[in-house]
Amino acid sequence: MDLEKHHWLSRPQKRVLTAISRCRTAALGGHLEVCTGCGREHPVYNSCRNRHCPTIGQRPIGPNRQSRLRGRRPEGVARARCQALAQQKWIDARAERILPVRHFHVVFTPPSELRTLAMRHPTEIYTALFRATSELLLELGRTHLKATLGLTMVLHTWTRDLRFHPHVHVLATAGGLALDRERFVHVRKDFLFHVKVMGRLLRGKMLDALRQLQQKGAFPEMTQGAFHRLMASLAAHKSWVVYAKAPFNRSQHVLSYLGRYTHRVGIANSRLVEVGPNHVTFHTKHGKTATLHPVEFLRRFIQHVLPDGFHKIRHAGLYASAQPGGSLEKARALLPAPKPPKEFQPVATDSPRICDHCGATILRLPLKAMARSPPLKAACA
How much is the pLDDT for 79? 46
334 burial level (CB within 10 Å; 0-12, 13-18, 19+): middle
Q: Identify the bridge partners of residue 292 per DSSP, sorted by sequence position.
A: 280
**CA-wise closest residue to 121 among 169, 166, 54:** 166
Distance, CA of 278 to CA of 142 (rounded, Å): 55
Q: Which of 102-106, 145-149, 233-237, 341-345 has the highest mean pLDDT?
A: 145-149
Strands of 30-35's sheet in order across: 41-45, 30-35, 361-367, 353-354
How much is the pLDDT for 335? 92
pLDDT in tens, 186-203: 997 778 999 999 999 999
Asked if residue 340 is part of any domain, the answer here is no
pTM, two decimals, is 0.81
pLDDT in tens, 328-346: 999 999 998 766 655 444 4
Asked if residue 296 is part of any domain, the answer here is no
Angle (deg, nearest 10), helices 84-95 and 251-262: 150
> What phi, psi does 247 have (nearest 5°)?
-70, 155
How much is the pLDDT for 288? 93
* Residue-number span of the structural domain to which 204 is assigned: 101-266+310-333
Asked if residue 8 is part of any domain, the answer here is no
How much is the pLDDT for 37? 85
Q: Could you tell me whether strands 279-283 and 289-292 are parallel, antiparallel, or unpaired per DSSP bridges?
A: antiparallel
Q: How many structural domains are present in the chain? A: 2
Does residue 177 sit in the same domain as residue 146?
A: yes
pLDDT level of residue 86 (50, 70, 90 thresholds): low
- 272 Rama class: left (phi>0) / alpha (psi -120 to 50) / beta: beta
Distance, CA of 238 to CA of 197 (rounded, Å): 12
Residue 219 neighbours by CB under 8 Å, 6+ apart: 117, 120, 121, 213, 227
Does residue 252 sit in the same domain as residue 147?
A: yes
Does residue 227 sit in the same domain as residue 181?
A: yes
How much is the pLDDT for 113? 93
Task: Return mean pLDDT, the chain.
Answer: 82
Does residue 207 sit in the same domain as residue 320?
A: yes
How much is the pLDDT for 342? 54
CA angle 182, 188, 194 (to 5 degrees): 110
Asked if residue 24 is part of any domain, the answer here is yes
Asked if residue 159 is part of any domain, the answer here is yes
Yes or no: say if 199 and 133 are a contact pair by the CB < 8 Å rule. Answer: no
pLDDT level of residue 371 (50, 70, 90 thresholds): low
What number of other Cβ atoms are within 10 A of residue 266's Cβ? 22
Residue 326, pLDDT > 60, answer: yes
Does residue 351 sit in the same domain as residue 323?
A: no
Residue 42, pLDDT > 60, answer: yes
Lowest mean pLDDT among 56-60, 117-121, 130-134, 207-211: 56-60
What number of other Cβ atoms are within 10 A of residue 230's Cβ? 18
pLDDT in tens, 292-302: 999 999 999 99
| Sign of the torsion angle spanned by Cα atoms 290, 78, 20, 304 | positive
Q: Could you tell me whether strands 353-354 and 41-45 are parallel, antiparallel, or unpaired per DSSP bridges?
A: unpaired
Yes or no: say if 192 and 172 are a contact pair by the CB < 8 Å rule. Answer: yes
Yes or no: say if 202 and 108 are a contact pair by the CB < 8 Å rule. Answer: yes
288 burial level (CB within 10 Å; 0-12, 13-18, 19+): exposed
Residue 46, pLDDT > 80, answer: yes
How much is the pLDDT for 45? 85
Asked if residue 277 is part of any domain, the answer here is no
How much is the pLDDT for 3? 76
Asked if residue 304 is part of any domain, the answer here is no
Radius of gyration of the CA atoms of the chain, in A: 24
Does residue 161 sit in the same domain as residue 43?
A: no
Residue type, 345: Q
Does residue 34 sit in the same domain as residue 109?
A: no
Does residue 201 sit in the same domain as residue 156?
A: yes
Does residue 181 sit in the same domain as residue 155?
A: yes
Asked if residue 234 is part of any domain, the answer here is yes
